[in-house]
């Protein structure tokens, strides 16, 4: 009896915390949505142009709502000793767990192909579209300026390109960082050794990926523990009935 009461109290407390945390996350989400323009630029991971399209506010509201709802089910299920709510809680957490694992697998598989797809898209684009297609040029201009990189691998991606021919055999200025006073010809581009954008992006995302992976591992551990506790309570109540 002592053990059951203790586990039940832990389950109630833990789910109250999840519920409160969910309300906080949703509140932050609403706040971000309302004050998006002023707020987003403060958060370091989101002041990149690449990220500003991701709607962080909506994401936080959704996550917060799910956490609040799940916390309430878990809390009520344990407090009222309701087998139905407990098994519901268990099933929802299990589904979330499976979805997380699936997302992780898809991300891993996708990222190993990402380089191939990016290379197939980027290098012919740089040769033929850069300087011709406004959207493509803008995208590369802002990437190269923000990340201080040049081309996909290096400046040689521009050799013989449309831009190169149109501009008197010169490379885009971003390829000659630190030599802005001189025309960006082959010698200067080679000398300034500006890193290719692919390498830069990989470097840039690696840290974020590590943080995300750590958070995902922590969340999964909590989910497994919550599932174990819910199952224990369910089995105990089931046994008591018979
Ligand atoms: C991109 O940068 C190049 C080189 O600085 C410049 O000539 C071009 O006008 C820019 N294009 C756009 C669309 O911003
Ligand atoms: C530029 O990148 C290509 C492809 O990765 C590589 O073969 C070449 O050696 C590089 N050139 C310089 C100057 O780094």
Pocket mutation for ligand 2, best pick of 119, 122, 153 (most atoms within 8 Å of C-beta) = 153
Task: Reply yes or no on whether the pLDDT at 59 is more than 70.
Answer: yes
HSE-CB for 32 with a 13 A CA cutoff: 20
Q: Which whole number is the average pLDDT over 218-238? A: 93
DSSP for 138-171 reads HHHHHHHHHHT--SSSSGGGGTT-HHHHHTTS--
Check whether 60 has a pLDDT greater than 80.
Answer: yes
Q: What is the DSSP string of the chain?
A: -HHHHHHHHHHHHHHHHHHHHHHHHHHHHHHHHHTHHHHHTTSGGG-STTTTTS-HHHHHHHHHHHHHHHHHHHHHHHHTT-HHHHHHHHHHHHHHHHHHHHHHHHHHHHHHHHHHHHHHHHHHHHHHTTTTSHHHHHHHHHHHHHHT--SSSSGGGGTT-HHHHHTTS---GGGGTT-TTS---HHHHHHHTPPPHHHHHHHHHHHHHHHHHHHHHHHHHHHHHHHHHHHHHHHHHHHHH-
Range with lowest mean pLDDT among 68-82, 195-209, 226-240: 195-209
How far, in Å, is the centroid of ligand 2 from the Cα of 115?
Answer: 16
CB burial readout 203-212, b (16+ within 10 A) else e = ebeeeeeeee
Asked whether residue 146 carries a pLDDT value surpassing 50, the answer given is yes
**Tell me, what's the pLDDT at 50?**
40
The pLDDT value recorded for residue 227 is: 94
Q: What is the pLDDT of residues 64-95, one digit of tens each?
A: 999 999 999 999 999 999 999 999 999 999 99
More reliable by pLDDT, 53 or 135: 135
Which ligand number lies closest to the CA of residue 158? 2
**How far apart are alpha carbons 67 and 72 in whole angstroms?**
8
pLDDT tens by residue, 103-114: 888 888 888 787
**What is the residue-averaged pLDDT of the chain?**
86
The least confident of 20-24, 41-45, 102-106, 141-145 is 41-45
CA-nearest residue, atom 9 of ligand 1: 131
Q: Has residue 137 got a pLDDT over 80?
A: yes
- Atom of ligand 2 lying closest to residue 153 CA: 2
Tell whether the model's pLDDT for residue 26 goes beyond 70. Answer: yes
Residue among 131, 161, 163 to mutate when testing ligand 1 (max atoms within 8 A of CB): 131
- What b/e string do you get for 177-188 counting C-beta neighbours within 10 Å, with b at 16 or more? bebeeeebbbeb
CA distances for 234 relative to 4, 6, 11, 84, angstroms: 11, 14, 12, 9
The Å distance, Cα 148 to ligand 1 centre, comes to 15
Nearest-atom number in ligand 1 for the CA of 172 is 4
Higher per-residue confidence, 188 vs 56 = 188
Average pLDDT over residues 103-132: 86
209 token code pair:
């990926």
Q: Is the pLDDT of residue 48 over 70?
A: no
């Amino acid at each position: 009896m002592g053990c059951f009461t203790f586990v039940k109290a832990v389950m109630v407390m833990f789910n109250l915390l999840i519920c409160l945390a969910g309300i906080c996350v949703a509140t932050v989400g609403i706040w971000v949505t309302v004050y998006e323009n002023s707020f987003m630029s403060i958060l370091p991971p989101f002041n990149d142009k690449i990220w500003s399209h991701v709607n962080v506010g909506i994401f936080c509201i959704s996550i917060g709502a799910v956490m609040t709802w799940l916390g309430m089910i878990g809390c009520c299920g344990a407090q009222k000793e309701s087998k139905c709510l407990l098994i519901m809680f268990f099933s929802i957490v299990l589904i979330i767990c499976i979805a997380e694992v699936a997302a992780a697998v898809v991300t891993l598989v996708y990222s190993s192909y990402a380089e191939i797809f990016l290379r197939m898209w980027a290098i012919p684009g740089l040769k033929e579209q850069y300087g011709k297609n406004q959207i493509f040029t803008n995208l590369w201009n802002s990437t190269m300026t923000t990340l201080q990189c040049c081309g996909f691998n290096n400046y040689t991606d521009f050799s013989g390109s449309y831009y190169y021919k149109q501009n008197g055999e010169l490379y885009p200025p971003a390829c000659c960082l630190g030599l802005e006073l001189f025309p960006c010809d082959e010698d200067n581009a080679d000398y300034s050794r500006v890193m290719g954008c692919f390498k830069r992006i990989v470097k840039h995302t690696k840290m974020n990926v590590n943080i995300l992976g750590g958070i995902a591992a922590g969340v999964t551990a909590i989910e497994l523990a919550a599932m174990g506790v819910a199952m224990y309570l369910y089995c105990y109540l089931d046994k008591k009935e018979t």
